[in-house]
């Protein structure tokens, strides 16, 4: 492959995706469909992080919902306070709670700058804390997966338990405004969509840079042979920690943007099941390929919305089957299909050449 072609291809792909997201989709889709697409793109943002941590780093994080939720709740808390207006309590606190003023840990979220920073930094801090403890002691593989899943379970249960301050099972609902803009207005909904699309492209670009950097090489090396990397003088714990923390930040941003797009965040969206569903999309599309993971994530949530409304039972079977087939028989996901076909064709061509040569 000539070098120019190699460097132009991602740029062309990126430009194509930008045209699709910013020009084609808003023109072709109704407001309702565009809102759904915004939701799907949030899932894709989580998938970018999963591609980095799991596909490239081999860290099966079954708890991305926690980071998605932290980002979402941080954003929703600010928006609820803003909706209630100065001096008032958010509606659900007046309903369930006995508190007459905001709990102390809600108060900083009244500040928009703090809340915005927290949507990304809070998940990253939690991931750094858990990752530091877990990776330093070389807890890995399945053990790490279980711990990350337990974190998702514990977080969801904790949220449900604190009904007076977190809205419990209902979550934070009925969010009206987004930094002063009314979310009922379709124009503002469109703006939210554009912000989400831009954020997704930015995250993809960031992840691509990371993957193609020296660090990206090191990450794959840690995935494939951790001990060898250790003997070469690197500390695999740090390498893994960076991937995990970046993935958490991406999930946090996704959660934060999910809130204005959908208007609600609740424990049902961040517990064990949604956390695994984030992984499914990336697995089906191709965990190690950014394009595969993103398209897979969008495709799977799209299929879920389209099928589960009409055939909820059939969808569950289909989802399970999809998962089994993708992981057991196509570990590289759909993204690896093209490469497999290309290799097969090349092999056939070679076989033909050999056969022709023998005949002559």
Partner 1 sequence: MTVILGQTFTGISIGAVLLLIALGLSLTFGQMNVINMAHGEFIMAGAYTTYVLQKSISDAGMSLLVALPVAFLVSGALGALLEWLLIRRLYLRPLDTLLVTWGVSLMLQQLARDIFGAPNVQTRAPDWLTGNVTLIGGADPLTVANSRLFILGLAVAAVVALASTLRLTPLGRRIRAVVQNRDLAEVSGISTARVDRTAFFVGSGLAGIAGVALTLVGPIGPTMGTNVIIDAFLVIVVGGIGQLKGTVIVAFVLGVLQSVLEYSTTVSVAKVLVLVAIVAFLQWRPQGLYTLRTRSLV
Residues that bind partner 1 (CB under 8 A): 58, 60, 130, 133-134, 136-143, 145-147, 149-151, 153-155, 157-162, 226-227, 272-273, 276, 279-280, 283, 313, 316-317, 319-324, 327-328, 331
- Provide the minimum distance between the beta carbon of 138 and partner 1 in the complex, in angstroms, as a whole number: 6
- Provide the minimum distance between the beta carbon of 14 and partner 1 in the complex, in angstroms, as a whole number: 30
Burial class (CB in 10 A: 0-12, 13-18, 19+), 83: middle
Continuous segment of H or E residues that includes residue 181:
strand 181-182
Task: Give the count of beta carbons closer than 10 Å to the beta carbon of residue 349.
Answer: 10
Measured from the CB atom, the residue of 150 and 351 that comes closer to partner 1 is 150
Measured from the CB atom, the residue of 25 and 330 that comes closer to partner 1 is 330
- Provide the minimum distance between the beta carbon of 279 and partner 1 in the complex, in angstroms, as a whole number: 7
Quick one: CA torsion of 110, 112, 113, 117, rounded to 10 degrees? Answer: 90
Measured from the CB atom, the residue of 195 and 322 that comes closer to partner 1 is 322
- Provide the minimum distance between the beta carbon of 288 and partner 1 in the complex, in angstroms, as a whole number: 13
Six token digits for residue 293:
């993971």
Measured from the CB atom, the residue of 189 and 275 that comes closer to partner 1 is 275
Measured from the CB atom, the residue of 106 and 315 that comes closer to partner 1 is 315
Measured from the CB atom, the residue of 187 and 313 that comes closer to partner 1 is 313
- How many whole angstroms separate alpha carbon 337 and alpha carbon 274? 26
- Provide the minimum distance between the beta carbon of 274 and partner 1 in the complex, in angstroms, as a whole number: 13
Rg (CA), the chain: 22
- Provide the minimum distance between the beta carbon of 338 and partner 1 in the complex, in angstroms, as a whole number: 21
- Nearest partner of 22 among 43, 38, 7, judged by Cα: 38
DSSP string, 184-228: TSHHHHHHHHHHHHHHHHHHHHHHHHHHTSHHHHHHHHHHH-HHH
- Provide the minimum distance between the beta carbon of 112 and partner 1 in the complex, in angstroms, as a whole number: 29
Measured from the CB atom, the residue of 331 and 339 that comes closer to partner 1 is 331
Characterize 253-267 residue by residue with b for buried, 16 or more Cβ atoms within 10 angstroms of its Cβ, and e for exposed: bbbbbbbbbbbbbbb
Measured from the CB atom, the residue of 321 and 346 that comes closer to partner 1 is 321
- Provide the minimum distance between the beta carbon of 287 and partner 1 in the complex, in angstroms, as a whole number: 10
Quick one: CA torsion of 326, 329, 334, 338, rounded to 10 degrees? Answer: 180
- How many whole angstroms separate alpha carbon 97 and alpha carbon 304? 36
């Amino acid at each position: 492959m000539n070098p120019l072609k190699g460097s132009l291809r991602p740029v062309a792909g990126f430009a194509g995706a930008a045209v699709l997201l910013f020009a084609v989709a808003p023109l072709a889709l109704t407001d309702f469909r565009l809102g759904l697409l915004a939701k799907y793109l949030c899932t894709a943002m989580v998938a970018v992080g999963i591609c980095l941590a799991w596909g490239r780093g081999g860290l099966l994080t079954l708890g991305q919902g926690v980071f998605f939720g932290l980002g979402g709740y941080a954003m929703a808390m600010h928006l609820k306070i803003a909706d209630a207006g100065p001096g008032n309590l958010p509606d659900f606190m007046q309903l369930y709670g006995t508190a007459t003023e905001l709990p102390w840990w809600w108060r900083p979220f009244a500040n928009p700058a703090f809340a915005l920073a927290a949507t990304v930094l809070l998940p990253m801090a939690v991931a750094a804390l858990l990752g530091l403890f877990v990776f330093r002691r070389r807890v890995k593989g399945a053990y790490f997966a279980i711990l990350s899943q337990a974190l998702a379970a514990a977080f969801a249960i904790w949220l449900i338990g604190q009904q007076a301050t977190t809205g419990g099972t209902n979550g934070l609902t009925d969010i009206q405004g987004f930094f002063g803009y009314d979310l009922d207005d379709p124009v503002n909904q469109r703006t939210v969509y554009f912000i989400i699309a831009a954020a997704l492209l930015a995250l993809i670009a960031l992840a691509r840079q990371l993957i193609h950097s020296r660090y990206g090489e090191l990450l794959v090396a840690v995935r494939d042979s951790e001990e060898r990397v250790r003997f070469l003088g690197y500390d695999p714990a740090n390498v893994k920690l960076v991937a995990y923390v970046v993935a958490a930040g991406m999930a946090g941003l996704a959660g934060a943007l999910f809130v204005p797009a959908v208007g609600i965040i609740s424990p049902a969206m961040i517990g064990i099941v949604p956390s695994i569903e984030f992984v499914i999309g990336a697995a089906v599309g191709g965990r190690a390929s950014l394009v595969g993971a993103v398209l897979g994530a969008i495709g799977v949530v799209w299929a879920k919305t389209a099928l589960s409304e009409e055939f909820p039972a059939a969808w569950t079977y289909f989802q399970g089957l999809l998962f089994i087939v993708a992981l057991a028989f196509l570990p590289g996901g759909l993204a690896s299909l093209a490469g497999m076909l290309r290799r097969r064709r090349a092999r056939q061509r070679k076989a033909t050449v050999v056969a022709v040569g023998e005949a002559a």
